[in-house]
Structure 1
Amino acid sequence: MKLKTISKLGMALGLGFMLAACSGGDSGSSSGKTSDSKEVNLAYVEWDTEIASTNVVGQVLEDLGYDVTLTPLDNAIMWEAVSKGEADGMVAAWLPHTHASQYEKYKADLDELGENLAGAKIGLVVPSYMNVNSIEDLTNEADHTITGIEPGAGITAATEKAIEEYDNLADWNFITSSSGAMTTSLAKALKNEEEIVVTGWSPHWKFAKYDLKYLEDPKGVYGGEETINTFVRKGLKEDLPDVYSVLDNFHWTAEDLESVMLEVMDGKDPKDAAKEWVEANPDKVAEWTKDVKK
């Protein structure tokens, strides 16, 4: 079976048509799939964490004989796609703070399978050599600029709120781009020992590669510890019970996730990095697949 990744452009042009086509079959479920179907569509956001985790889960399902499609979407569209049954599931929900608004909007139309990783965090991040330790301490660092990621990301909304909540950030600029552009800017600043303030989250390979620190958040805008959670469409348990059980059992550590992210960051194809991790961790994969019918 072949694991496929759909381009963002393709998604923008034909999301509904493509997802409907992936469903196939004639069953009573909204997805059109039956327990005999071998087609699975996992939605994800193109953040380093979710690229790694979704490729690993996709590889496990592919090894079980499924034809897996990985569909990159903007954050809000990812939630909507799963809630409407246009995608089968996602392992990319950050709770209780980052994706709180999407959770409240779509939770009634989703099956929640719980956390797949604990100890996640978001906030403003700076190089450790910068002489600032709290958001409240920021004055004129980095030319009054925060370098962010995609406009639709939860951390972007939190940062916009932080600029409103912290009086010292009133005249700061917030530049949104992409996670890749943010890490490129971070790497350039670190190489030249320049000041930079970025939106950051962990687990992330940048904390393993660089000497960084979170700025304290006394107003609690970014919330406390988070978990990354798994959600699936309604009816998946009945339509594809083995897929449901793998997603339900999927759980790993920040170290697991960061090891895959580092490989991808160093230039390895995400599918190849996922395949190598799966092959190197048979015990963990066995826990995820233990309920699959033989």
Structure 2
Amino acid sequence: MKKKRRWTPISALALIILLTVSIATGCGQQSGGQDAKPLIKIGYINWQEDVAVTYLWQEILQEKGYQVELLSVDAAPLFVGLNKGDLDLFLDSWLPITQQAYWEKYKDKLDDYGSWYTGEAKIGLAVPTYVNLDSITQLNDQKANFGGQIIGIDPGAGIMKSADKAQKDYALNYDIVQGSEAAMLAALDKAYKEKKPIVITAWSPHWMFSKYDLKYLTDPKKDFGSSEGLHVLANKDFTLKQPAVAAMLKKFKLNDQQIGTLEDLINQGLSPQDAAKKWISTNQTVVNSWLK
């Protein structure tokens, strides 16, 4: 008959130590996991106001301990990424008109935190004020002056779809030149310095309206729609997992002067990161109102 093994005082003590260490280690790992803040992925389009507010929030969130990754893409892949959860946030969705098609397609997987811009957001075709032209309906009469071109931006942008619609509805004998915001602004700057006619796809808010004397062409057919909001969109899973960040972004508001000064810092040559830091340092009270 086998004898039962007895626990000696040393064995019991060793067991207690082992259990204590295991529990402490496990609790430490769990606590660390809870305290560690996750990576936040923000998609943005290379538009002035979008770059400005995206880097602004990267700086704010990093100061709060979050890791933030930014990805510059066109509108179509941005919405696909947001829908799939490959991206968490997009801070500059023009709704309810310009990006309506994307919103309708993907809204079941997205949350709308509301518009951050308190001014009048709009899009359209614009010309320098020295150009004797007031309406889109007059463009065909001055085709030669403009070289038969409307200078646009990236092809995935909602404003380009509106421009295509206007081209058909107004029977414009113009080519809509695809490119980027930077290319459009370079063409505008060159034409403006030489006082030459140019027609561009334009939107507000944008610092170009403070640097250049521009005017929107009237749009009787309303192909460019009415005023809009600049909305923060999030993947629904992100909202559920990060309610604190969602709450901050829902309080985010900027007026014309505030977004204008932020954009202007970048326009003066500061990097978007340095512009964000400088703007925050002089607008800390505004930022704090979003973080309460």
TM-score category (smaller protein): 0.7 to 0.9
Question: Alpha-carbon deviations, 1:183-209, whole Å to 9, x = none?
Answer: 000000000000000000010010010
Q: Which residue of 2 aligns with 1:289?
A: 291
Q: Which residue of 2 aligns with 1:134?
A: 135
Partners of 2:162 and 2:223 within 8 A in 1: yes
What is the CA distance between 1:241 and its match in structure 2? 2.4
Q: Which residue of 2 aligns with 1:165?
A: 169
Unaligned regions of 5+ residues in structure 2, if any? 1-32
SS at match of 2:68: strand
Alignment of 1:3-82 (within 5 A): 36-82=36-82
Alignment of 1:94-105 (within 5 A): 94-105=94-105
Taking the aligned partners of 2:279 and 2:255, their CA distance within structure 1 comes to 13
Taking the aligned partners of 1:40 and 1:160, their CA distance within structure 2 comes to 35
Q: Which residue of 1 aligns with 2:26?
A: none
SS at match of 2:46: coil
Change (3 A) 1:35 1:247: farther
Number of residue pairs aligned between Structure 1 and Structure 2: 256
Question: Alpha-carbon deviations, 1:11-36, whole Å to 9, x = none?
Answer: xxxxxxxxxxxxxxxxxxxxxx9774
Taking the aligned partners of 1:152 and 1:40, their CA distance within structure 2 comes to 24
What is the CA distance between 1:40 and its match in structure 2? 1.2
Partners of 2:133 and 2:217 within 8 A in 1: yes
SS at match of 1:143: coil
Taking the aligned partners of 1:89 and 1:42, their CA distance within structure 2 comes to 5
SS at match of 1:117: coil
Q: Which residue of 2 aligns with 1:152?
A: 156
SS at match of 1:228: strand
Taking the aligned partners of 1:269 and 1:41, their CA distance within structure 2 comes to 20
Unaligned regions of 5+ residues in structure 1, if any? 1-32
**Greater alpha carbon shift after TM alignment, 70-79 vs 33-42:** 33-42
**Identical counterparts, % of pairs:** 36
Taking the aligned partners of 1:55 and 1:165, their CA distance within structure 2 comes to 38
Q: What letter matches 1:211 in structure 2?
A: D
Partners of 1:91 and 1:230 within 8 A in 2: yes
Taking the aligned partners of 1:74 and 1:57, their CA distance within structure 2 comes to 20
Q: What letter matches 1:206 in structure 2?
A: M
Q: Which residue of 2 aligns with 1:202?
A: 204
Q: Which residue of 2 aligns with 1:223?
A: 225
Partners of 1:35 and 1:240 within 8 A in 2: no
SS at match of 1:151: coil
What is the CA distance between 1:95 and its match in structure 2? 0.7
Taking the aligned partners of 1:124 and 1:88, their CA distance within structure 2 comes to 32
Q: Which residue of 1 aligns with 2:3?
A: none
SS at match of 2:116: strand
Taking the aligned partners of 1:91 and 1:199, their CA distance within structure 2 comes to 21
Q: Which residue of 1 aligns with 2:181?
A: 179
Partners of 1:37 and 1:240 within 8 A in 2: no
Partners of 2:37 and 2:67 within 8 A in 1: no
Larger radius of gyration: 2
Partners of 1:91 and 1:229 within 8 A in 2: yes
Q: What letter matches 1:43 in structure 2?
A: G
Taking the aligned partners of 1:227 and 1:238, their CA distance within structure 2 comes to 24
